[in-house]
Amino acid sequence: MSESQAAGMTVTVTPPEQRHERVKPASQSWFIARLNPVSRFICPLIMSLPLFTTLDVVSASIQLALSVILLWIGGINPFVVLRRTWPVWIAAVGSFVTIALYGRTSGTVHFAWAAIVISDGSLYLAVATFLRVAAIAVPSVIFVLGLDPTDLADGLVQILHLPSRFVYGALAGIRMFTLLQEDWRALGLSRRSRGLGDGNPIRRVCSQAFALLVLSIRRATKLATAMEARGFGASDTRTMARVSQLHAIDWVSYAIALIVPAIAVGTAIATGYWNLPLTSN
């Protein structure tokens, strides 16, 4: 292309608010997939806070049931919820066993040996703790699954107005974190090609981990320099390639996040089961 042709060319740039990108499959739920990434963090937080004011079976069980029903309406089958949140149930069972064995003793004692005492009070607290862990963690995990880090970073900067330097630096670190497995494999192959990987396996792992740490520091230094060169450290307001904003469905999700715990805690208060965690018996 000649200089005259290049000089006569014009490049049209579409404003960010007029760009229409293909919707990414961010969740199996049609409702959650349409939410702003910031809302997918705020909604579980709003739902979980009221449960910290009480430790009873009624409020936790009602909120867990309502959450599963709403997720089912949103397009996620309860069996899918159970399969995708299996670590939560393992943690809940662990908390149940711990509280049942070492919880506050009250009522009839069913078993006692050394520091282990199983009573009516400890069993009640164990069930309440199990349900509260599930009620808090299950919606949180479902909301976060499939979340795109780039969209979340845009929402944190544009909606919550967090420092862009910190947010996009963390995003770059998350993107680089996926390279660790490939770097570990490449380091192992290169060391074995030089005859350094046939000795003590513990010594080999420690030495290779140190080499990976040095490589990560070098890469982080280059990344920081590249981000500074692109103006991430400047004090001026940056323009955004993608617009992140709240819509009507986000406000609907906030309303649901307020109504669900209000129903759960309100029912516990009405039935007389509401009790502070520090005074539960």
Q: What is the pLDDT of residues 62-87, one digit of tens each?
A: 999 999 999 999 989 999 999 999 99
Q: What does the pLDDT read at residue 17?
A: 61
Q: What does the pLDDT read at residue 262?
A: 94
The 3-class secondary structure across 152-196, one letter per residue, is HHHHHHHCCCCCHHHHHHHHHHHHHHCCHHHHHHHHHHHHHHCCC
In whole angstroms, what is the distance from residue 102 CA to residue 176 CA?
Answer: 43
Enumerate residues 6+ apart whose C-beta is below 8 A from 183. 212, 215, 216
3-state secondary structure of 238: coil
Burial, 87: exposed, middle or buried (Cβ in 10 Å; 0-12, 13-18, 19+)?
Answer: exposed
Which positions of the chain have pLDDT values less than 50? 1-2, 4, 278-281
3-state secondary structure of 67: helix
Nearest to 135 by CA among 49, 61, 57: 61
- Which two tokens mark 195? 């005859």
The 3-class secondary structure across 1-19, one letter per residue, is CCHHHHHHCCCCCCCHHHC
Enumerate residues 6+ apart whose C-beta is below 8 A from 86. none
Q: What does the pLDDT read at residue 6?
A: 52
Instruction: Give me the residue spans of the domains in the chain.
Output: 25-149+244-279, 160-229
In whole angstroms, what is the distance from residue 221 CA to residue 219 CA?
Answer: 5
In whole angstroms, what is the distance from residue 261 CA to residue 194 CA?
Answer: 61
3-state secondary structure of 246: coil
Beta carbons of 168 and 154 less than 8 angstroms apart: no
Q: What does the pLDDT read at residue 121?
A: 84
Q: What does the pLDDT read at residue 281?
A: 46
Tell me the sheet residues that pair with 117. Answer: 112
